[in-house]
Structure 1
């Protein structure tokens, strides 16, 4: 089971991107903040967390870890849970930081070992 399925109950969409090409706009013409852009470029309150989960699904080094959860607080990605070693946590942080809209990655709720 992939990250999107496990965390959000969503199937991995065939054409979704961790970094949509263009930010959507609201009906009033305002640009949606990068952390609120969903998998298909639409407004999504949890858009950043879903795009991080998609990025994890797309990375073979972390695609099978099922003891970590992804959330967001504004533009901060919040990782929670347990990882087997520091190298995996470092990789998760690097992937999450690479997602458009992520300004920080919080790991103080992650246990290593």
Structure 2
């Protein structure tokens, strides 16, 4: 089971979502902030966390660590739980920072070991 399936009950898309021709808009017509863009370019309150989970699924070095969870607070990716090693946590932080809309990664709720 992958990250998206375990955390959000979603199947991994066949193709990674590409930027839509028209930028996504909120119901009021405002552009959707990057941290709220979903997997398919739509508005999604948890869009950043879902795209980070997809990035973890797409990285062959990151197996699904079933004791770690991904959330978001605004533009900050929040990792919570336990990882088997510092190397895995470092890799996850590196991958999460590359996702559009992520400005920081919080790991103070993660234990290693």
- Using the size of structure 2 for normalisation, the TM-score is 0.92
* C-alpha deviation, 1:25, in angstroms: 1.6
Stretches of structure 2 that go unaligned for 5 or more consecutive residues are none
> Equivalent residue for 2:19?
21
Match runs of 1:17-56 below 5 Å: 17=17, 20-22=18-20, 23-56=23-56
Tell whether 2:92 aligns with 1:92.
Answer: yes
Aligned-partner Cα distance in 2 for 1:75–1:35: 6
Tell whether 2:72 aligns with 1:59.
Answer: no
Instruction: Spell out, residue by residue over 1:59-110, the C-alpha distance to the aligned partner (whole angstroms, 9 max, x if none).
Output: 0111332211000000100000111111100000000000000000000000
Instruction: Spell out, residue by residue over 1:14-51, the C-alpha distance to the aligned partner (whole angstroms, 9 max, x if none).
Output: 1233xx42541234431100000000000000000000
Matched residues, number: 111
Aligned-partner Cα distance in 1 for 2:19–2:63: 24
The Cα RMSD (Å) is 1.3
Stretches of structure 1 that go unaligned for 5 or more consecutive residues are none
